Amino acid sequence: KRIAVLASGRGSNFQAILDALAAGKINGEIVALLTDNRDAYAIERADAAGIPAIVLNYKDYPSKEAYERDLLTAMQDICADLFVCAGYMRIIGSKIAREFSGKMINIHPALLPAFSGLHGQRQALEYGVKIAGCTVHFVDEGLDSGPIILQKSVEVLDDDDEDSLSERILEQEHRAFPEAVALFCADRLTVVGRHVKILPEAN
Protein backbone atom coordinates (compact mmCIF):
# COMPACT_ATOMS: atom_id res chain seq x y z
CA LYS A 1 0.00 0.00 0.00
CA ARG A 2 1.04 3.59 -0.61
CA ILE A 3 1.22 5.45 2.70
CA ALA A 4 1.49 9.20 3.26
CA VAL A 5 2.27 10.63 6.69
CA LEU A 6 1.06 13.96 8.07
CA ALA A 7 3.15 15.32 10.95
CA SER A 8 3.65 18.70 12.62
CA GLY A 9 6.61 18.23 14.91
CA ARG A 10 9.04 15.76 16.42
CA GLY A 11 7.80 12.83 14.37
CA SER A 12 8.65 9.98 16.72
CA ASN A 13 5.49 8.16 15.64
CA PHE A 14 6.47 8.66 12.01
CA GLN A 15 9.84 7.14 12.94
CA ALA A 16 8.17 4.15 14.60
CA ILE A 17 6.32 3.46 11.35
CA LEU A 18 9.51 3.90 9.31
CA ASP A 19 11.26 1.41 11.60
CA ALA A 20 8.42 -1.11 11.32
CA LEU A 21 8.55 -0.81 7.52
CA ALA A 22 12.31 -1.33 7.53
CA ALA A 23 11.82 -4.40 9.71
CA GLY A 24 9.36 -5.82 7.17
CA LYS A 25 6.41 -5.63 9.56
CA ILE A 26 4.25 -3.51 7.26
CA ASN A 27 3.35 -4.38 3.71
CA GLY A 28 3.69 -0.94 2.16
CA GLU A 29 5.85 2.07 1.49
CA ILE A 30 5.79 5.66 2.66
CA VAL A 31 5.56 7.81 -0.44
CA ALA A 32 5.51 11.26 1.17
CA LEU A 33 5.60 13.27 4.36
CA LEU A 34 3.21 16.20 4.50
CA THR A 35 3.80 18.84 7.11
CA ASP A 36 2.19 22.13 8.10
CA ASN A 37 5.38 23.27 9.85
CA ARG A 38 8.61 24.09 8.06
CA ASP A 39 10.57 23.56 11.30
CA ALA A 40 9.20 20.08 12.00
CA TYR A 41 11.93 17.61 12.97
CA ALA A 42 9.88 15.04 11.04
CA ILE A 43 11.31 16.61 7.84
CA GLU A 44 14.82 15.51 8.86
CA ARG A 45 13.56 12.01 9.49
CA ALA A 46 12.00 11.98 6.01
CA ASP A 47 15.25 13.23 4.46
CA ALA A 48 17.23 10.53 6.25
CA ALA A 49 14.85 7.88 4.93
CA GLY A 50 14.86 9.30 1.39
CA ILE A 51 11.18 10.22 1.54
CA PRO A 52 9.99 13.43 -0.13
CA ALA A 53 8.71 16.04 2.32
CA ILE A 54 5.94 18.33 1.17
CA VAL A 55 5.92 21.46 3.31
CA LEU A 56 2.74 23.55 3.43
CA ASN A 57 3.79 26.02 6.07
CA TYR A 58 0.54 26.92 7.81
CA LYS A 59 1.79 30.31 8.98
CA ASP A 60 2.35 31.43 5.40
CA TYR A 61 -1.32 31.02 4.53
CA PRO A 62 -3.84 33.84 4.79
CA SER A 63 -6.56 31.52 6.09
CA LYS A 64 -7.34 27.98 7.15
CA GLU A 65 -9.43 27.61 3.98
CA ALA A 66 -6.49 28.50 1.75
CA TYR A 67 -4.24 26.06 3.61
CA GLU A 68 -6.79 23.26 3.42
CA ARG A 69 -7.26 23.83 -0.30
CA ASP A 70 -3.56 23.24 -0.91
CA LEU A 71 -3.51 20.33 1.50
CA LEU A 72 -6.43 18.68 -0.30
CA THR A 73 -4.72 19.11 -3.67
CA ALA A 74 -1.45 17.73 -2.33
CA MET A 75 -3.24 14.75 -0.81
CA GLN A 76 -5.07 14.04 -4.07
CA ASP A 77 -1.83 14.26 -6.05
CA ILE A 78 -0.09 11.74 -3.79
CA CYS A 79 -2.66 9.02 -4.58
CA ALA A 80 -2.03 7.25 -1.30
CA ASP A 81 -4.07 4.30 -0.06
CA LEU A 82 -3.61 5.44 3.52
CA PHE A 83 -2.97 8.80 5.20
CA VAL A 84 -1.46 8.56 8.65
CA CYS A 85 -1.74 11.52 11.03
CA ALA A 86 1.30 11.10 13.26
CA GLY A 87 1.34 14.08 15.60
CA TYR A 88 -0.44 16.23 13.06
CA MET A 89 -1.65 19.04 15.27
CA ARG A 90 -4.48 20.50 13.21
CA ILE A 91 -8.10 19.50 13.03
CA ILE A 92 -8.77 17.95 9.64
CA GLY A 93 -11.41 19.99 7.81
CA SER A 94 -14.65 18.26 6.91
CA LYS A 95 -14.01 18.34 3.16
CA ILE A 96 -10.74 16.41 3.55
CA ALA A 97 -12.24 14.11 6.20
CA ARG A 98 -15.08 13.22 3.84
CA GLU A 99 -12.88 12.74 0.77
CA PHE A 100 -10.49 10.39 2.57
CA SER A 101 -13.01 8.65 4.82
CA GLY A 102 -11.81 5.16 5.69
CA LYS A 103 -8.33 6.00 4.40
CA MET A 104 -7.06 8.26 7.14
CA ILE A 105 -6.01 7.28 10.65
CA ASN A 106 -4.82 9.25 13.67
CA ILE A 107 -3.15 8.55 16.98
CA HIS A 108 -4.38 10.23 20.13
CA PRO A 109 -2.55 10.10 23.48
CA ALA A 110 -5.60 9.16 25.57
CA LEU A 111 -8.16 6.39 25.82
CA LEU A 112 -10.94 7.87 23.69
CA PRO A 113 -13.67 8.93 24.01
CA ALA A 114 -12.15 10.40 27.17
CA PHE A 115 -9.84 13.40 26.86
CA SER A 116 -10.06 14.30 23.21
CA GLY A 117 -8.43 17.45 21.88
CA LEU A 118 -5.16 18.91 23.02
CA HIS A 119 -3.11 17.64 25.99
CA GLY A 120 -4.88 14.30 26.44
CA GLN A 121 -2.23 13.19 28.93
CA ARG A 122 -2.59 16.32 31.08
CA GLN A 123 -6.38 16.00 31.02
CA ALA A 124 -6.13 12.39 32.21
CA LEU A 125 -3.77 13.34 35.01
CA GLU A 126 -5.93 16.24 36.14
CA TYR A 127 -9.04 14.08 36.12
CA GLY A 128 -7.34 11.52 38.33
CA VAL A 129 -7.85 8.40 36.22
CA LYS A 130 -5.80 5.32 37.18
CA ILE A 131 -5.48 3.97 33.64
CA ALA A 132 -4.42 6.10 30.69
CA GLY A 133 -3.21 5.20 27.22
CA CYS A 134 -3.47 5.85 23.53
CA THR A 135 -5.97 5.27 20.73
CA VAL A 136 -5.55 4.73 17.00
CA HIS A 137 -8.73 5.61 15.14
CA PHE A 138 -10.09 6.44 11.72
CA VAL A 139 -10.51 10.15 11.10
CA ASP A 140 -14.01 11.45 10.63
CA GLU A 141 -15.45 14.94 10.62
CA GLY A 142 -15.42 15.27 14.40
CA LEU A 143 -12.59 15.87 16.87
CA ASP A 144 -10.88 12.55 17.70
CA SER A 145 -14.25 10.90 17.21
CA GLY A 146 -13.85 8.32 14.42
CA PRO A 147 -14.12 4.51 14.75
CA ILE A 148 -11.48 3.06 17.09
CA ILE A 149 -8.97 0.61 15.61
CA LEU A 150 -6.96 -0.20 18.70
CA GLN A 151 -6.02 1.09 22.12
CA LYS A 152 -3.20 0.42 24.55
CA SER A 153 -3.29 1.26 28.23
CA VAL A 154 -0.74 2.27 30.84
CA GLU A 155 -1.11 2.61 34.58
CA VAL A 156 -1.07 6.10 36.04
CA LEU A 157 1.37 6.18 38.96
CA ASP A 158 0.93 8.31 42.09
CA ASP A 159 4.03 10.35 41.37
CA ASP A 160 3.41 10.81 37.64
CA ASP A 161 3.64 14.28 36.16
CA GLU A 162 2.65 15.20 32.62
CA ASP A 163 6.11 14.40 31.26
CA SER A 164 6.50 10.99 32.86
CA LEU A 165 2.98 9.91 31.91
CA SER A 166 3.39 11.23 28.35
CA GLU A 167 6.63 9.27 28.01
CA ARG A 168 5.02 5.98 29.07
CA ILE A 169 2.04 6.59 26.80
CA LEU A 170 4.42 7.42 23.92
CA GLU A 171 6.08 3.99 24.25
CA GLN A 172 2.66 2.45 23.69
CA GLU A 173 1.93 4.82 20.79
CA HIS A 174 5.07 3.53 19.12
CA ARG A 175 3.70 -0.02 19.39
CA ALA A 176 0.06 0.71 18.58
CA PHE A 177 0.52 2.87 15.52
CA PRO A 178 2.72 0.55 13.42
CA GLU A 179 0.43 -2.32 14.43
CA ALA A 180 -2.63 -0.44 13.14
CA VAL A 181 -0.86 0.55 9.91
CA ALA A 182 0.18 -3.07 9.38
CA LEU A 183 -3.42 -4.27 9.87
CA PHE A 184 -4.70 -1.68 7.40
CA CYS A 185 -2.07 -2.57 4.82
CA ALA A 186 -2.91 -6.26 5.17
CA ASP A 187 -6.60 -5.44 4.46
CA ARG A 188 -7.50 -6.75 7.90
CA LEU A 189 -9.68 -3.82 9.03
CA THR A 190 -13.37 -3.56 8.24
CA VAL A 191 -15.49 -0.70 9.47
CA VAL A 192 -19.13 -1.37 10.25
CA GLY A 193 -20.71 1.81 11.55
CA ARG A 194 -18.69 2.80 14.63
CA HIS A 195 -17.08 -0.60 14.90
CA VAL A 196 -13.77 -1.67 13.45
CA LYS A 197 -13.41 -5.41 13.11
CA ILE A 198 -9.96 -6.94 12.90
CA LEU A 199 -9.98 -9.86 10.50
CA PRO A 200 -7.82 -12.90 11.25
CA GLU A 201 -4.51 -13.22 9.47
CA ALA A 202 -4.80 -14.90 6.07
CA ASN A 203 -2.63 -18.02 5.78
What whole-number distance in Å separates Cα of residue 51 and Cα of residue 59?
23
Is position 28 an interface residue for ligand GRF (rule: CB under 6 A)?
Answer: no
What whole-number distance in Å separates Cα of residue 148 and Cα of residue 191?
9
To the nearest 10 degrees (0 to 180), the angle between helices 42-49 and 12-22 is 20
Identified binder of ligand GRF from the candidate list 109, 146, 147, 178, rule CB under 6 A: 109
Is residue 108 flagged as an active site residue? yes
Show the DSSP H helices in the chain as ranges. 12-22, 42-49, 64-78, 94-99, 120-127, 162-185
Identified binder of ligand GRF from the candidate list 3, 5, 13, 26, rule CB under 6 A: 13
Supply the minimum distance, in Å, between the C-beta of residue 108 and ligand GRF. 6
Site string for ligand GRF, 163-192 (x = CB under 6 A): -------x--x-------------------
Site string for ligand GRF, 50-89 (x = CB under 6 A): ------------------------------------xx--
Stretch of residues binding ligand GRF (CB under 6 A), selected from 18-26, 75-83, 104-112, 195-203: 104-112
Cis status, amide bond into 109, omega within 30 of 0: no
Phi and psi based region of residue 121 (left: phi greater than 0; alpha: psi -120 to 50; beta: remaining)? alpha
Stretch of residues binding ligand GRF (CB under 6 A), selected from 10-18, 30-38, 123-131, 179-187: 10-18
Contact 24, 12 (CB under 8 A): no
Phi and psi based region of residue 62 (left: phi greater than 0; alpha: psi -120 to 50; beta: remaining)? alpha
Q: Which residues are catalytic?
A: 108
| Binding positions for ligand GRF, rule: CB under 6 A | 7, 9-13, 86-87, 107-109, 170, 173
